């Protein structure tokens, strides 16, 4: 039986894979940098200029992530039916409008309303919609394209944090929001509209099915409805726990390090290790992906994150080693998030499935900064690390249970 992606592959033949991945990758850098990573630089200037309290300012991103979670199912269905081009183009417009709203906001309600618009743009324009777009275009052969796309995404904070700081120093925080809004309209929108292929509209509703053979691994024998539900359930829990751990630590890492008496400048220097380790792990995965099933990428990710947290909790003065483990783990998690569902369920209904999987993880990400702050205030930063380590242990058990449900994933296979 032919893959459901064959028709869309034919439509996308006029665009080479490198062109499509580059267009998506550049769009991802701008989308992440001007939304998820925006307040890392702008929160302080916004609070100082407006007099709004920092919790209200930072709460904008949590509200945006909740809006993204609500929008995700619709986004997944839209990509499944019409392809990624119109959805990703719409995300650029939404992000531009939301950023314009931030620049003009004179009150907290207006500010939070702008973040709702940005959140809908995030739901339509970050990793999950981009992965869904690649899955619809390339079917089960999208694994390498997803891996390459995450390499671009790994540079979002590296590129946009200095750019945001430059905008703020030259234009102020409102001017920075306006500049990013302009970049979405003059850079990301044309990239998506002119370089992504126009695809045929589908009218049928496809759900997750047993996977066809994937590069580097055998098809997963999901033989009955009950097993499929179990696999989907464990996969959802694993993705959600990983998202919660990474968000809590990303937001509160500097606080944890400073709580150990490390100066802010040194804590920031340690924190910069995470980004390069993410990219390094993704490069290694890109080189060896053909030799293993994506379940092993997920297992390696969970194990590395747990090892990093265990090293941090050990109290030994090897923080750099801990952050190398942690950075490599969350770098692989981004790949597993896109490639494992494709390998387990195939390309039929993949974009819709990614939209469904995004809901609990985005809700977890929205709540995680507040959960971390509550734990730090209530039991201290060191105890919070131990809670995260326990959560990572649960995540490891979830992933190993998922492996046990997929016996063929560990079998030797021929490589396509």
Is the separation of the CB atoms in 137 and 197 below 8 Å?
A: yes
Which residues on neighbouring strands pair with residue 217, listed in sequence order?
214
| Phi-psi group of 139: left, alpha or beta (phi > 0 → left; psi -120 to 50 → alpha; rest → beta) | left
Residue 13 is given by DSSP the state G
Per-residue burial over 345-377, b if 16 or more Cβ lie within 10 Å, else e, is bbbbbbbbbbbbbbbbbbbbbbbbbebbbebbe
Is the separation of the CB atoms in 73 and 351 below 8 Å?
A: no
**In whole angstroms, what is the distance from residue 172 CA to residue 262 CA?**
30
Q: What is the reported pLDDT for 124?
A: 93
Token pair, residue 90, equals: 């719409």
Domain(s) of CATH 1.20.1250.20: residues in the chain: 6-195, 225-410
Is the separation of the CB atoms in 210 and 345 below 8 Å?
A: yes
Q: CA 398: distance to chain centroid?
A: 20
The CATH architecture of the domain made up of 6-195 is Up-down Bundle (1.20)
**In whole angstroms, what is the distance from residue 330 CA to residue 112 CA?**
29
Residues of the chain with pLDDT under 70: 1-15, 201-224, 264, 407-416
Q: What is the reported pLDDT for 4?
A: 42
User: In the CATH scheme, what is the homologous superfamily, with its name and number, of domain 225-410?
Assistant: MFS general substrate transporter like domains (1.20.1250.20)
Q: What is the reported pLDDT for 414?
A: 34
Instruction: Name the nearest CA neighbour of 179 among 26, 36, 40, 38.
Output: 38
Residue with tokens 């995030």: 122
Rg of the chain over all Cα atoms, to the nearest angstrom: 21
Residue 220 is given by DSSP the state P
What pLDDT, in 10s, does the model give residues 63-105? Answer: 999 999 999 999 999 998 888 899 999 999 999 999 999 999 9
């Amino acid at each position: 039986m032919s893959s459901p992606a064959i028709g869309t592959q034919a439509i996308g033949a006029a665009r080479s894979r490198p062109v499509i991945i580059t267009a998506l990758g550049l769009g991802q850098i701008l989308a992440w940098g001007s939304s998820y990573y925006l307040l890392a630089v702008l929160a302080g200037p916004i609070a100082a200029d407006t007099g709004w309290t920092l919790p209200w300012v930072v709460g904008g991103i949590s509200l945006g992530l909740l809006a993204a979670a609500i929008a995700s199912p619709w986004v997944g269905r839209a990509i499944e039916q019409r392809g990624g081009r119109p959805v990703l183009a719409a995300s650029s417009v939404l992000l531009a409008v939301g950023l314009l709203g931030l620049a003009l906001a004179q009150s907290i309600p207006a500010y939070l309303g702008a973040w709702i618009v940005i959140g809908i743009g995030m739901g339509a324009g970050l990793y999950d919609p981009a992965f869904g777009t690649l899955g619809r275009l390339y079917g089960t052969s999208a694994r390498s394209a997803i891996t390459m796309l995450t390499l671009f995404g790994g540079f979002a904070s590296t590129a946009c944090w200095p750019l945001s700081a430059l905008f703020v120093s030259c234009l102020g925080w409102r001017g920075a929001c306006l500049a990013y809004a302009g970049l979405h309209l003059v850079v990301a929108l044309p990239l998506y509209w002119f370089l992504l292929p126009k695809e045929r509209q589908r009218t049928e509703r496809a759900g997750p099915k047993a996977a066809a053979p994937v590069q580097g691994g055998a098809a997963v024998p999901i033989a009955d409805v009950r097993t499929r539900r179990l696999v989907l359930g464990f996969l959802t829990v694993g993705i959600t726990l990983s998202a919660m751990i990474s968000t809590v630590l990303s937001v509160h890492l500097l606080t944890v390090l400073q709580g150990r008496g490390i100066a802010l400048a040194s804590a920031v220097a340690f924190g910069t290790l995470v980004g390069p380790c993410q990219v390094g792990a993704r490069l290694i995965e890109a080189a060896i992906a053909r030799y293993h099933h994506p379940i092993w990428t997920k297992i390696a990710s969970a194990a590395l994150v747990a090892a990093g947290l265990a090293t941090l909790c050990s109290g030994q003065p090897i923080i750099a080693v801990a952050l190398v483990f942690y950075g490599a783990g969350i770098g692989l998690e981004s790949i597993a998030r896109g490639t494992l569902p494709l390998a387990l369920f195939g390309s039929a209904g993949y974009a819709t499935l990614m939209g469904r999987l995004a809901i609990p993880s985005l809700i977890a990400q929205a709540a995680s900064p507040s959960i971390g702050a509550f734990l730090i205030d209530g039991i201290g930063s060191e105890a919070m690390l131990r809670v995260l380590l326990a959560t990572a242990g649960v995540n490891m058990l979830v992933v190993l249970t998922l492996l046990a449900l997929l016996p063929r994933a560990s079998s030797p296979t021929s490589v396509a």
